[in-house]
């Protein structure tokens, strides 16, 4: 389907608005967290309440609702590619495939970082997020569900999707992946985030549906969440299973 120039201009400004909403969400805590805390105290009467986790989730939900309102025009989603999206089963399969590819890609990127760049394993950004999640478990919903949707709307549709037309896949994927990597503020492991973003862009490009990278991103974050919270238990379980298998006749 061919889209008129004025439609494409409208979609461009919608993308800018989506990016602006995401950027505002990221910095809003600097000046809204304290009023939010006072509001919580007024509602609950509990001055010891920890507002950070609740605020992060509330602000993310509001940002997502605003983005959904901004992008309600179906043409905004269909105008990226000159072909229809794949069927729902194929989209889900691409999402699962993307999850596996990101795991492999992150492993290779981490190997390059440790072997050739002398960078130690472990992400300070991820560690900080899950320390916050331990104090406020509601953040898990942000990490596993809301966050992936927001980031795919911004980095895959708004940035990659906008750049794809006037450039090409590689340029659009690299620029959107670099933006995705930078926004995580873990510059030591920039390569890992860059590879992840590039794979998410590839999944979006191949499936022609934003739901495929969202599924891949959700699966990845859920997997990391489980590994962070239950890593020691899973390791002990694996050791027990290994011993059991070893002694099987």
Least confident stretch, 1-5, 130-134, 199-203, 234-238: 234-238
Q: Which residue has the higher pLDDT, 133 or 10?
A: 10
- Catalytic positions are 151, 184
Number of Cα atoms under 13 Å in the Cβ half of residue 29 = 12
Position 236 pLDDT exceeds 70: no
Phi and psi for 82 in degrees, rounded to 5? -95, 25
pLDDT at 226: 85
Position 242 pLDDT exceeds 70: no
In the predicted model, what is the mean pLDDT of residues 184-193? 92
Position 53 pLDDT exceeds 70: yes
Residues 191, 205: Cα–Cα separation, whole Å: 21
Q: How confident is the model at residue 63 (pLDDT cuts 50, 70, 90)?
A: very high
The sign one gets for the Cα dihedral 127, 49, 21, 154 is positive
In the predicted model, what is the mean pLDDT of residues 105-111? 95
Phi and psi for 73 in degrees, rounded to 5? -70, 115
CA distances 232 to 6, 37, 206, 221, 235, Å, are 55, 35, 37, 18, 5
User: Tokens 């027990």, residue?
Assistant: 240
């Amino acid at each position: 389907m061919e889209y008129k120039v004025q439609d494409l201009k409208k979609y461009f400004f919608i993308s800018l608005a989506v990016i602006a909403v995401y950027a505002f969400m990221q910095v809003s805590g600097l000046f809204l967290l304290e009023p939010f805390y006072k509001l919580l105290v007024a509602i609950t009467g509990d001055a010891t309440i920890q507002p950070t986790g609740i605020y992060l989730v509330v602000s993310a939900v509001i940002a997502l609702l605003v983005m959904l309102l901004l992008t309600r025009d179906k043409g905004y989603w269909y105008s990226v590619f000159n072909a229809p999206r794949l069927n729902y089963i194929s989209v889900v399969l691409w999402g699962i495939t993307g999850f596996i590819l990101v795991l492999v890609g992150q492993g290779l990127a981490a190997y390059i970082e440790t072997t050739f760049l002398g960078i130690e394993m472990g992400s300070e950004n991820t560690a900080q997020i899950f320390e916050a999640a331990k104090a406020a478990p509601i953040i898990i919903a942000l990490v596993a569900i809301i966050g992936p949707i927001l980031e795919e709307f911004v980095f895959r549709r708004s940035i990659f999707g906008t750049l794809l037309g006037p450039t090409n896949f590689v340029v659009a994927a690299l620029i959107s992946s670099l933006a995705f990597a930078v926004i995580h503020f873990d510059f030591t492991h920039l390569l890992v985030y860059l590879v992840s973003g590039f794979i998410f862009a590839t999944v979006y490009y191949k499936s022609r549906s934003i739901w495929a990278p969202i599924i891949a991103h959700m699966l990845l974050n859920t997997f990391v969440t489980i590994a962070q919270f239950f890593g020691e238990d899973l390791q002990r379980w694996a050791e027990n299973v290994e011993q059991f298998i070893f002694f099987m006749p």
